[in-house]
Amino acid sequence: MNYRKFGNTGEKISALGFGCMRFPEYEKDGKMYVDQDKVDEMVAEAYRQGVNYFDTAPKYCNCNSEEAVGRAVKGFRDKVLLSTKIPLDVCKKPGDYRRALEHSLDKLGTDHLDFYHFWGINRKEFDQTIMAQDLLADAAKAKEEGLIRHISFSFHDEPLAIKYIIDESKKRGIPMESMLVQYNLLDRTNEEMLHYAASNGVGTVAMGPVGGGRLAAPTELYAKLTGKKSIATYELAFKFVLGNPDLNCALSGMQTLDMVKQNAKLASDSTGFSKEEWQQLGEAMEQLKKFSELYCTGCKYCQPCPAGIEIPKIFNMFTYYNVYGLKDHAKKMYDNYVKDGGKLIEDCKNCGFCERHCPQHLQIRKELERVEKLFR
């Protein structure tokens, strides 16, 4: 496994991080559970392969991820970096930050967090919640007491807001120490701000390195660009992200043991792209635009839909149809969804909940209608 200096945190972080939002789950008596045996196997294998950064959040996997991660890393907790997040909507009154932190510590079964993120923030939330309630002071106090080791944020907003958050935190005397942002070959909008963050000693982690699955699609892109023997597109995607000198870690939401082994192998490869290759590959975005026609990453922030529409599932069917070319399979998935009583756009309450919570700012209702027409 390759390791990198993680900003000014003093940590060495594995090039591959384990995103713990897509663990295998099962349903029993109407309730969702994480398959702990499979999670234990995947996490243990990741650790054996050198992965030392595990990122979770209170609401991942139907609110079961933190507990599953805590159990899985119990035997080597002191050898890894644990990261989780605080949703700002729980911070309504003094003491809420501390209560949320203690709840996550309890779920994870640990006495401290290595990285505690303000979750999915934008400039407005930074000003109106974090700064207005002086949550940075709460974070600094928790750090002083040893409950957290590093103050972090994950981000969904216009790129320049990253600079604002970093600068204003520093002015307050409580600087952000790491950040988690979207970055991949399809979406390079945060590239300049990754450089700004790295230049200011902020550790950088990329979410969505394979573009929500779109860059797993088989193409001959690498061969066409370089004239060399083709490589798998997911390999191209990972190597591109890890080829950015301002990026410390690529966070992958791994669902199977094979994915862990596959991604760990890529992150352990000592033969990365040259600067020239990396720049050349960046130009591939124009050729890949067709893959981002409907860029749903499957983050599930739009869930639960008040009307019960399983939006990420429907959009994933479109990925199979449009990106992978598995049209018959995608239509069969849709037919089975309808047969099982799955809710559709006709059931929509037009409340806009999904669009307000979508980090990609998709026009979800319009896209659902288009996708469903395709499958009818």
pLDDT tens per residue across span 48-66: 999 999 999 999 999 999 9
- What is the residue-averaged pLDDT of the chain? 90
* Confidence grade of residue 285 (pLDDT, cut at 50, 70, 90): low
More confident residue, 275 or 341: 341
Residue 272 pLDDT exceeds 80: no
| Tokens standing for residue 89 | 């909507």
Q: DSSP for 208-258?
A: -TTGGGGGGS---HHHHHHSSPP--HHHHHHHHHHT-TT--EEEE---SHH
The model's pTM is 0.78
Residue 284 pLDDT exceeds 70: no
d(CA 79, CA 126): 32
CB 64 within 8 A of CB 32: yes
Least confident range from 129-138, 151-160, 214-223, 242-251: namely 214-223
Mean pLDDT of 304-321: 90
pLDDT for 235 equals 81
User: Over the stretch 70-100, which tens digit does the pLDDT of each residue have?
Assistant: 999 999 999 999 999 999 999 999 999 999 9
pLDDT for 220 equals 63
Beta strands in the chain (DSSP E): 3-5, 12-14, 16-19, 25-28, 31-34, 53-55, 81-86, 115-121, 151-155, 178-182, 203-207, 249-252
pLDDT for 187 equals 80
pLDDT for 225 equals 57
- Closest alpha carbon to 60 in 30, 111, 97, 23: 23
CA 138 to chain centre: 25
User: Over the stretch 175-211, which tens digit does the pLDDT of each residue have?
Assistant: 999 999 999 877 888 999 999 999 999 999 999 888 7
Rounded to a whole number of angstroms, the CA Rg of the chain reads 20
d(CA 108, CA 74): 9
* Confidence grade of residue 137 (pLDDT, cut at 50, 70, 90): very high
- Phi then psi dihedrals of residue 153, to 5 deg: -150, 145
Q: Which amino acid is at 7?
A: G
